[in-house]
Chains A and B, each alone.
Chain A
Amino acid sequence: MKKYIIPIISLILFASVSGCQKWKGEHTEIYSYTPPAANPVSDKAPLSCGGGSTVSAVKGTMLSGKTYTVQAGCDLVINPLDTLLMQPGVTLNMGAGSSLIVLGTLVSNGSKNQPNWITIPGITKNDAPGGLAPTADPAYAGKWKGIIGGPTCNLMVLRWTHVEYAGLTEGDATSKLADAGSGNQYSILFANYKGSFIMEDSWLYGGVDDPIRISAGKVAIFRSTFEKNGAIGGDCLNAKGGTVGTMAYNLFMGTATNGQKASNKGQAIGAPQTNLVMYNNTFVSGGYRQQQSGRGGCINYEEGAAGMYYNNVAINCRFGYRVVGNPVADVAHLSYGNNYQWADSLSVANQFYPTGYITQPQSTDIPSITTSAKYLPTNYQLGSIYDGSDVVQKNNPAFLNFPLPTSGHALSQYSAVGNFNFHLQPSSPLIGKGNTGIKPLITVPLDKIYGLSDPTPPGADLGCYQLNGTGNQH
């Protein structure tokens, strides 16, 4: 008997070990938030939220001529697979600190005669140069958060639509609903490389950081006007890794940093390389509210971005067209030419080809790169310091109403169109200098409502206004 004791103990131990295995288990409960279903859109009462939630879900159609109101602090959410269609002539008044989160489809289908407004009511604009200091200007105050496209937003169309006074910090709750960043201060965010972002004939007024951030997407941004964009920094149209499309005939007044920027940073798995075609855009007084040194003022290509830029006009921008050498743009797939620049002063002219970067002067550039021995000498190396004194105030573009050189105000104070008019006089040296052989890169659907209605091809006149009446319609 005794000799069996040890084996028996071993057996009991073994049995208890294997017996215990069936108690082994695992159970996990992670709280998961499901937004409520949407009700038909009402203009009778403010679109509201409550009960500890900031969410106000919306889908359906906002009718022509009606005004809708979003309660302060609410996130107006278009759920995945839902669509909100704003007919022409709709005003959507956003409450203080509210947002419009697009997880499904948003189409704001304004028209030339009946534009739409997504704005804060009751604010008086002062667009005179130097009329308000930036710190006092409501344009830069971020009254509401903005239109935040989530990663499931497949289509966002803004046609003949005014978007104003956005850019408030998203914060914890809003950013998590939209799967964006809590510190974001974008007036418009688009972040789906499979989706389409279309902006036609629209206006973006004000903003805090990047007024439009395209984290990724197919884009078509045509004939739109951008004013007072970015408080102390921010690139107006800032496209990151996985953005493909065209930006054309846009007018930028007083952007904090660049007007249009392309980078392949943050390219997602499966997303294409950033490839942007930019033509016939006009940039005025760009780059002066950027507090950091070395940033751009009109167009910028960097970090693996490919594309082209032709027929653009830069007036008194702090830095000229910038191609970055490190992290280097995809210079093998980047072409440019027929771009015009004007400088009131030597410091502007000295940055037509920004020092420290690799923008290659082109023979079609205006002013001519062979203007003088001082301006771009024969041994000029990309990004080196040169003397631009011979190209200051040369080739006056003869705008309808924007006297050059400017007088009475610092360049940084020209931040809104107001009474200025950047259409060309018939005497303008910009006429007929454009390259019309290049092609727009159209990646979005073409459709009168649910797509791009008019892919205007490159124009013969430099800048966003064509003498023949095409181009920017504002």
Chain B
Amino acid sequence: MKHSYFLNRLLLFSSLIFLFAFSSVAQTIKGKVDDYKTGEPLAGATVHLTQQGVNKTAPVNLNGAYAFKNVHSGSYQIQVNYIGYKSSQVYEGNINSTDEIKIINIDLQDASTQVAEVKITGQGNNKETDRAARGIEKNAVMIENILSANTIQLLPDVTVANALQRVSGVSILRSPSGEGRYAIIRGMEQRYNSTLVNGIKIPSPDPAYRFVPMDIFPSEMLERLEIIKALTPNMEGDAIGGVMNLVMKSAPNHFVLSANISGGFSSLFSKGRLFNAFDPSSARQSPATIHGNSYGATYADFNNKALTSDQSLNNPLSSTAGLTIGDRFLNNKLGVIVSASYQNIYRGSNSKRLIPNAQPDYQPLPNSPQFSDSFDRTYSTQTQRLGIHNKIDYAIDDKNKISLYNLYIHQNEFESRLSSDTLGLGLNSTNFSKQITLSNRSTLTQQTIYNSTLHGEHFLGDEWKLTWDGVYSRATRNMPDRTEFSYDANKAINSTGVVTNEYDNNTALTHHWENNKDQDISGYANLIYTPKIAGKPVEFSTGGLFRHKIRDAYYMEYTLKGGSTLYNNNFNSIPFTMSLPIDGTGNSNPGLSNNYHITENDNAEYLQARFDLLPKLQVLGGVRIENTNLSYLTQSPITVSARSGKYIYTDVLPSIHLKYALTDNQNIRASYFASISRPGFGEQVPYQIDGEYYKEIGNQNLKHITADNYDVRYEFFPGGADQLLLGSFYKKIYNPIEYYVVRGSGPSDLFIQPQNAPGNATNYGFEALATKFFGIIGFSANYTYTHSRVTTPKLLYAPTGANGQPMNSIINETRPLQGQANNVGNASVLFKSANLGLDMQLAFVYTGERLAQVSAYANLDFYQHAYNQLDFSFEKTLTKHLSFYGKINNLTNAAAKIYLKYPHDKIKSQLQEFLGKQDIAAQTLVQSDYYKTLFLGGFRYKF
């Protein structure tokens, strides 16, 4: 299965390389029409050819190319016209039969650039095109991949997270409802990657980690998405996999107005599988927050609206809307853009999962799989996203300019989870009795990111430049009053399998508050000196940053029990009480260590130089020093060890980047950089929270991760949006942090805990990316092979004691890093016809098998099976300003499936009834999530 995909990919890839050769036509005049400044191909321009008084015209296609075939011998004149541009000069010449092909490339000048040419970089809509993106990739000092706004607009994706999976070397992790959430870059999971907005690090609303959930960003707000895979000294050094830089739309050259609106639905919610909607609880704060930690809350303090307001919706309608307005004033000195995006999406999934027992069996084989629970869950998720951003740039004069950027993003996620948990498989649930815990959980999660950046650039004479940024950012996440109701259905079953008796008891009601806030105040400054030394320009730069971060986390949970009262489908008749009155106070919250305050002061300084060592060899090198000073304080009592802690560390991060220009459109690059990855905030605090399937605990002894990274890459930019990239990388990672399933102090306790893997990890691989347009049809494919290895101790439960006594012992096991897939690829077919006004894209994503969850026991790791997704999108121009577009996600209803590498027919007979439908003989399917197909269609207006 895996092999055939691999071969297909190679075949497609090699055929694309082959197709880069140009074909030739006899007696032809052809060439390209580009923007004079940006090099962007000017598709839609008209080329006029005059020969002996006869006029011919030819359109410029997507590549920027035009051609006149069967041209007569003799003199000719050529001129290009395009709206918004000055007409080109008239090119005159002679063509005769020996010429066969005459190539005439023409640059047009933007009409607006004639006036008041102020030196402004980073302006203009033209940066949103593929061609501009290729130019940035080509000229970049480091290794990166870019998705342009035009590419993103046509993608089937409405969030940045889903768009990320289209980038070479990137795969994504999904939320329970199937929405992409985190990016894995080159096999390095989310902790190894950082997120920037316009080059500025933003704090995360995540409750425990530094990485930012990428589904919170509507993709239409982006000018381009950069994935930077090699760090230069002037960049923050805390990324090992890569950096995702979200470059937001900046003010245009002229008045711009665009708007879009769409509607859609998920095919999951039909045919009896209804969407479960609820109104959130009105209790924003916990009783302990309102009345103080000594207050003893009772049932009367709680509001169960999130459960009692449940209602089923049949095929709820999703909708999105976007609006962008921008213009330039004061003789083009002042640019303003405001853009807003709103999304209201209904998604969901059906999930089945087997939970491994805290200990496997030692017979018939050592570490024979044993399961404790069989979960059946349905998720209904409504996500409302609102993003607003605004950029104002002002050129004081041609040497000084400042800009102010504001970003506000807010997301409400209403998630309803209905679970059925058959527990104690073989122990409490047998063929004659079943114990099933049924639960209904309603969660509202509100996340907000706000960022405000004041940026200045000053040219201090010809050779000196100063840039600075003052940043205030704040990320919050609030989960007010997550409410869950559960009860046990106890069923007695007779010998023919009929339920003869059922009683429902053990009712429990949980109210849960979880808030966190992360606030940054940072300053950046860079001084750039570009003298000419030995006649060659050399760029020295130095600078640094200071960041003061405050993070607070609040966690409070109340559990009420219904006692011995049986549950008869009447929630209101249950006499819920605290088991013990003291359980209602904040002081007795067992998770006091989850309430913590963190202060982090980071500063970093760098020195870098860039020069041409040889005429075609550019060198960029230098060093960065990162100083980290983090301290935490939890609310745990003073008798609790690790209730507070402080970490101070300094890292010295050298790097060097070489770029050799083989030709004008081919580069070879090589780079080395050292980088770090800091542990998540929650990870170092000894917290304990209930995760989706496991309890998660912190580890105050975590060390930060460091890495040495090596890259080489070959690049070919034949023109237009076409490109060919071939790269390879090698990473050595020290103190990698992996999540382990560990056993707690109790025999049934299973926790997930982050730990530094003993020994180092290695990760290497290669990437290939090719894009080629043939007139209106384009093909794009990328493929990444990754190989990572880490060796860690695992438990082996085997009859190794006297008389075959079972004993637990330690053995070493080598495995890939979590989340890393050996094979990751994308392929898409694009159709872009300016004549028909129709753009279409069929996009395929392949993520090979990857390690989903590490077990404490050898050979019992969970692997996610290879995942394929096929998406389709199109946009049709209806009038000059109006177009209709559609996006269809997951055409083939691909499922996310997780397997244990153990033949399912070897699982013990008593467990077979809980396994469900199996499909791979050599493995056991332990989790499957189905999302079904998502449809979205709407209109876009552009002025």
Contact = CB atoms under 8 A, between A and B. Distances in A.
Interface of A: 2-3, 5-6, 9-10, 13, 16-17, 20-21, 23-33, 35, 52-55, 75, 97, 134-135, 141-142, 151, 168-169, 171-173, 175-177, 179-184, 191, 215, 232, 240-241, 263-269, 271-273, 291-295, 302-304, 306, 324-328, 330, 332-333, 355-357, 383-385
B506 A292 contact: yes
Nearest to A141: B580
A327 B433 contact: no
Contacts of B703: 26
B426 A32 contact: no
Nearest to A52: B638
A385 B432 CA distance: 9
Nearest to B588: A171
A182 B687 CA distance: 12
Given A5-B533, A30-B641, 19 more contacts: A13-B609, A24-B652, A26-B649, A27-B649, A30-B700, A168-B580, A180-B745, A180-B746, A264-B806, A266-B749, A269-B810, A271-B808, A293-B491, A324-B427, A325-B910, A333-B804, A355-B432, A385-B494, A385-B495
A100 to B, nearest CB: 15
Given A23-B652, A30-B645, A326 B428 contact: no
Interface string B550-585: 000000000000011000000000000001101100
27 contacts: A2-B533, A9-B611, A13-B621, A20-B625, A20-B652, A23-B652, A24-B652, A28-B647, A30-B701, A32-B641, A33-B638, A33-B639, A75-B639, A171-B588, A182-B590, A232-B506, A266-B743, A266-B748, A266-B749, A267-B808, A269-B795, A293-B491, A326-B425, A327-B370, A333-B805, A356-B430, A383-B432
A427 to B, nearest CB: 38
Contacts of B622: 13, 16
Contacts of A179: 745
A273 B808 CA distance: 9
B653 to A, nearest CB: 9
Contact of B623 (A17, A151, A294): A17
Nearest to A216: B747
A292 B490 contact: yes
Contact of A215 (B644, B701, B747): B747
B821 interface: no
Interface of B: 357-359, 361-363, 370, 424-435, 488, 490-492, 494-495, 503, 505-506, 533-535, 538, 563-564, 579-580, 582-583, 588-593, 607, 609, 611, 613, 621-623, 625, 636-652, 654, 688, 700-701, 703, 743-749, 795, 797, 801, 803-810, 908, 910-911
Nearest to B490: A293
Contacts, number: 244
Nearest to B502: A293
- Interface secondary structure of A, over-half rule: loop
A304 B488 CA distance: 27
Contacts of B623: 13, 16-17, 20
Contacts of A232: 506, 563-564
Nearest to A20: B652
A52 B637 CA distance: 7
A333 B803 contact: yes
A295 B424 CA distance: 10
B494 to A, nearest CB: 7
Contacts of B590: 169, 171-172, 175, 182-183
A155 to B, nearest CB: 20
Contacts of B428: 292-295
Contact of B362 (A31, A265, A304): A304
B748 A383 contact: no
Nearest to A54: B639
A291 B490 CA distance: 9
Contacts of A265: 357-359, 747-748
A331 to B, nearest CB: 10
B557 to A, nearest CB: 12
B587 to A, nearest CB: 9
B580 A291 contact: no
Given A265-B747, A328-B361, A273 B805 contact: yes
A265 B607 CA distance: 57
A21 B652 contact: yes
The 5 A-B pairs with the shortest beta carbon distances in the complex, nearest first, are: A266-B747, A326-B426, A356-B430, A326-B910, A293-B490
Given A215-B747, A291-B564, A172 B580 contact: no
Contacts of A2: 533-535
B806 A273 contact: yes
B672 to A, nearest CB: 11
Contacts of B611: 6, 9
Nearest to A3: B534
B729 to A, nearest CB: 21
Nearest to B575: A135
B641 A302 contact: no
Nearest to B506: A291
Nearest to A35: B639
Given A31-B643, A291-B506, A326-B911, A240 B747 contact: yes
Contact of A292 (B432, B488, B807): B488
B204 to A, nearest CB: 23
A383 B430 contact: yes
Contact of B807 (A32, A184, A273): A273
B86 to A, nearest CB: 43
A330 B746 contact: no
Nearest to B361: A327
A9 B897 CA distance: 54
Nearest to B747: A266
A292 B434 CA distance: 9
Contacts of A180: 745-746
A17 B654 CA distance: 6
A24 to B, nearest CB: 5
Contacts of B654: 17, 20
Contacts of A52: 637-638
Contact of A33 (B427, B580, B640): B640
A137 to B, nearest CB: 13
Contact of B359 (A9, A17, A303, A356): A303
A343 to B, nearest CB: 18
Contact of B435 (A172, A272, A293): A293
Contacts of A181: 744-746, 749
A203 to B, nearest CB: 24
Contacts of A293: 428, 433-435, 490-492, 503
B806 A55 contact: no
A280 B35 CA distance: 97
Nearest to A133: B564
Contacts of B621: 10, 13
A244 B506 CA distance: 33
A141 B425 CA distance: 31
B433 A172 contact: no
A355 B641 CA distance: 47
A31 B644 contact: yes
Contacts of B908: 326, 328
A325 B609 contact: no
Contacts of B589: 172
Nearest to B431: A356
Nearest to B809: A269
A63 to B, nearest CB: 28
Contacts of A268: 808
A240 to B, nearest CB: 4
A333 B362 CA distance: 14
Contacts of B592: 172
Given A293-B435, A293-B490, A304 B806 contact: yes
Contact of B427 (A9, A134, A182, A302): A302
A42 B583 CA distance: 32
A21 B433 CA distance: 66
Contacts of B426: 324-327
B810 A327 contact: no
B636 A326 contact: no
B636 A172 contact: yes
